[in-house]
A and B are shown apart, each in its own frame.
Chain A
């Protein structure tokens, strides 16, 4: 049990090294990377914006309910902005990304494996890691931070919608207190987190696809594992990064 877990971690690590060692090859195929940014980013845009709006609106409601007990509903902007920037934006986006884009990557690569397309590439002396895995991996890493930024903006708009338009918090106080309380470090923390989550989610997705059992059931299993492993790892990495940032 422990033995297989260890060897699994080792395989993922070796796979990462193999992908990274091919990085110079992305300059030979920028179009493929663009294609993958569209696949994992552009296609997730609508669901990310929709969820961002709802998360922001919920933050607005809950934050208002909590803060008005202390008569400080003007601080709603701070609560919403910091909550979104540091935690909810990166984490929720990463979880949605794992479900929306990660599964697509895994099943696509897994199906290539099942239909022997990857083997055929190897036969033609084309490295499938360089040709298939690398652009998808890099595309995911680029796409996720951009999605997180969009999620944050839409979420902030949602919180503003509830707080200012519905509950009547003063718009000036909402924004000026937010601007005062939020520092560049908070934004940077969110960006670092989203980069880390992008790496984790993309790596898990391409790894599971590439190493999927070449059967219909195997591809299905690999897709499920992608969601589970990405989600758990995202939350684990989030805890570690939060602890590191708070300690610093």
Chain B
């Protein structure tokens, strides 16, 4: 009977370990994974001409410090711009209202993130406010194209 008991304990341990591993994989590993209850914070929106490959769950950072994440990205058919909703943690509730948001890249091949540069206003962003000043993602290909177009036109001017 004792061996039966230790067998059941062993199985229980194994199943528990397995489910703990599954839980970690589904909730912790994906940035946009299942999460139970969101940490306290507030939402602000920003409109961009082009969000590049920004994804839901991408970080929002100020001076390189993560302050929140992208909660949703949708397209506004009225002004043909992307509306990005940002979720910012409660502890960072003193971001000036006239701050600017830009979409930047981590490293050369890294993912996109939203960087917030502080403004100078005394009024702070709060739930539902919108960041007015935005700068779109820099698309590397169009930059390269522009460079080569410039290069070519300069080349043709010279005799």
B106 sits at the interface (CB 8 A): yes
Contact A149 B18 (CB under 8 A): yes
Which 8 A-B residue pairs are closest in the complex by CB-CB distance? A146-B18, A149-B21, A38-B11, A42-B14, A179-B31, A149-B22, A153-B21, A150-B21
On chain A, the residues within 8 Å of B149 by CB distance are none
Which positions in B face A, CB cutoff 8 Å?
A: 7-8, 10-11, 13-15, 17-19, 21-22, 24-26, 28-34, 55, 57-59, 66, 106-111
Q: Would you give the shortest CB distance from B86 to chain A, in whole angstroms?
A: 15
- Contact at A179–B55, with CB atoms within 8 Å? no
Contacts of B10 in A (CB 8 A): 38, 42
Stretch at the interface among A15-23, A106-114, A181-189: A181-189
Contact of B107 among A74, A145, A146 (CB under 8 A): A74
Counting chain A residues whose Cβ lies within 8 A of the other chain, the interface size class is 35 or more
Do B14 and A180 have beta carbons less than 8 Å apart? no
Number of A-B contacts (CB under 8 A): 102
Task: List 5 A-B pairs, Cβ < 8 Å.
Answer: A38-B11, A74-B107, A146-B18, A149-B19, A182-B30
Give min CB distance, A156 to chain B, whole Å: 8
- Could you tell me if A146 and B14 are in contact, using CB atoms closer than 8 angstroms? yes
Q: Which of A167-222 contact B (CB under 8 A)?
A: 173, 176-184, 186-187, 190-191
A97 to B55, CA, bound (A): 37
A37-B11, A38-B10, A180-B58 given; A146·B21 CB < 8 A: yes
What is the CA–CA distance of A37 and B17 in the complex, to the nearest angstrom?
A: 13
Against B, the Cβ 8 Å flags (1 = close, 0 = not) of A21-45 are 0000000000000110110011001
Q: Tell me if B14 and A184 are in contact (CB < 8 A).
A: no
Q: Given A74-B110, A180-B59, is A146 in contact with B29 using a C-beta cutoff of 8 Å? A: no
CA distance A41 to B17 in the complex (A): 11
Find out whether the CB atom of A37 lies under 8 angstroms from the CB atom of B30. Answer: no
Q: Are A41 and B8 in contact (CB under 8 A)?
A: no
| Minimum Cβ distance to chain A for residue B7 (Å) | 6
Does A85 touch B at the CB level, under 8 Å? yes
Nearest-CB distance from A3 to chain B (Å)? 42
- Nearest-Cβ distance from residue B131 to partner chain A, whole angstroms: 21
Question: What is the CB-to-nearest-CB distance from B24 to chain A, in angstroms, rounded to a whole number?
Answer: 6
Evaluate contact between A184 and B32: CB separation under 8 angstroms.
yes
State how many angstroms separate the Cβ of B67 from the closest Cβ of chain A: 14
Give CA–CA (A211, B25) in the complex, Å. 38
B24 surroundings in chain A (CB, below 8 A):
149, 153
Cross-chain contact of A72 among B18, B28, B30, B107 (Cβ < 8 A): B107
**Bound CA–CA A38/B5 (angstroms):** 12
Bound CA span A186–B30, Å? 9
| Chain B neighbourhood of A182, CB < 8 A | 29-31
